[in-house]
Structure 1
């Protein structure tokens, strides 16, 4: 099976076009005002129009309330919600029901216990995303450009499908895919800051290189 590649934090038509041209399977829009990748709902809807039917559309939220989830559901019509905050398993289940979409929960990882501790999410999500736990002084829950020891995921996620994020870039994604290729449940990789020339500014060349390296 070909590695699934998600390019997250897209803010411009040029970045969306680059992701599609490179063959990305999923594109993500960030709804979190503190992030340099934040977009308005109107902006995301306009950008997603070019991608609909060509790549799965992902809405990334951070502890969003019901009103925000419903607005994104109706205005963007995403294929996925990616929950990147401190949502409990109960909240994830509620969002999944309200959104009527597939849901992916991001889990911060620094040690093996972080994976084991979050098996409670498995029954209420369609997919898990293992991301590097943010530094203590980080303002953002993801997109910080830091990695974690991929060997922590050697046993998989209890049979649940999962993707990898955290500090990936065109230079190391091939090694990550090779390390996890035979791990039960591993589906693919997610990148944001690793394909940027500056915070929130995607680079078409880096996007193309990342996708190519992920599929070697």
Structure 2
């Protein structure tokens, strides 16, 4: 189905920062809709294009392989495209809409927004109106994976209602708080990284399963009986 197939009764799930075959197998077994590969060398979760290609080969059809970029150069993008069959691009840096389109070519893409006080939601969604999704993340040092949630009340209810089919919620999610996030915002998808790790950059299969189960419980509560 893929990450951005919107259904009000089923929140899609992405686990980001996978680096090993065991990570991939555990995520697939848990029932995710997408896995993310970090192509940003300063990150402890970074992988090379060749490693990503090997990991993507383990994915069954229908699960998106998401490439996370942070201000990537043309050479870096070319190396990724040559090796790894990415199906969805995620831009976490200062990429302009034009740069996002240039890199993604005809593939779907989403732009990360780092939510702080007074974030201009309407300006952001207008500027990146061609994006297939808006990924809402916490404003932390670095680019994602900080394990810090932002105040969901900062998101205007009218904005999230209008954009729900394109909202991917990230930033400090885990099995304990994702249900509240879904109940409040009803996003298209949720994205987790540090919330399913036993230590920084090290994924935990049990935590992945617990996260997916928590999402499904939240979906069941939100569905009309």
Q: TM-score, normalised by structure 1?
A: 0.90
Task: Tell me the SS of whatever aligns to 2:71.
Answer: coil
Q: CA deviation at 1:179?
A: 0.8
Q: CA deviation at 1:66?
A: 2.0
Show the 5 A alignment for 1:185-196: 186-196=187-197
Q: What is the rounded CA distance, in whole Å, between the counterparts of 1:174 and 1:42 in structure 2?
A: 36
Q: Does 1:126 align with 2:126?
A: no
- Which of residues 101, 104, 111 is equivalent to 2:117? 111
Q: What is the rounded CA distance, in whole Å, between the counterparts of 1:198 and 1:54 in structure 2?
A: 29
What's the Cα RMSD here?
1.5
Q: What is the rounded CA distance, in whole Å, between the counterparts of 1:13 and 1:19 in structure 2?
A: 10
Partner of 2:170: 165
Q: CA deviation at 1:34?
A: 0.7
Q: What is the rounded CA distance, in whole Å, between the counterparts of 1:108 and 1:32 in structure 2?
A: 17
Instruction: State how many pairs are aligned.
Output: 206
Q: Contact 1:89–1:120 at 8 Å: present in 2 too?
A: no
Q: What is the rounded CA distance, in whole Å, between the counterparts of 1:198 and 1:25 in structure 2?
A: 23
Q: What is the rounded CA distance, in whole Å, between the counterparts of 2:159 and 2:29 in structure 1?
A: 31
Partner of 1:201: 202
Q: Contact 1:20–1:54 at 8 Å: present in 2 too?
A: no
Q: What is the rounded CA distance, in whole Å, between the counterparts of 2:130 and 2:136 in structure 1?
A: 16
Partner of 2:159: 156
Q: TM-score, normalised by structure 2?
A: 0.86
For structure 1, the 5+ residue unaligned runs are none
For structure 2, the 5+ residue unaligned runs are 1-6, 218-225
Q: Contact 2:111–2:128 at 8 Å: present in 1 too?
A: no
Partner of 1:8: 16
Q: CA deviation at 1:79?
A: 0.7
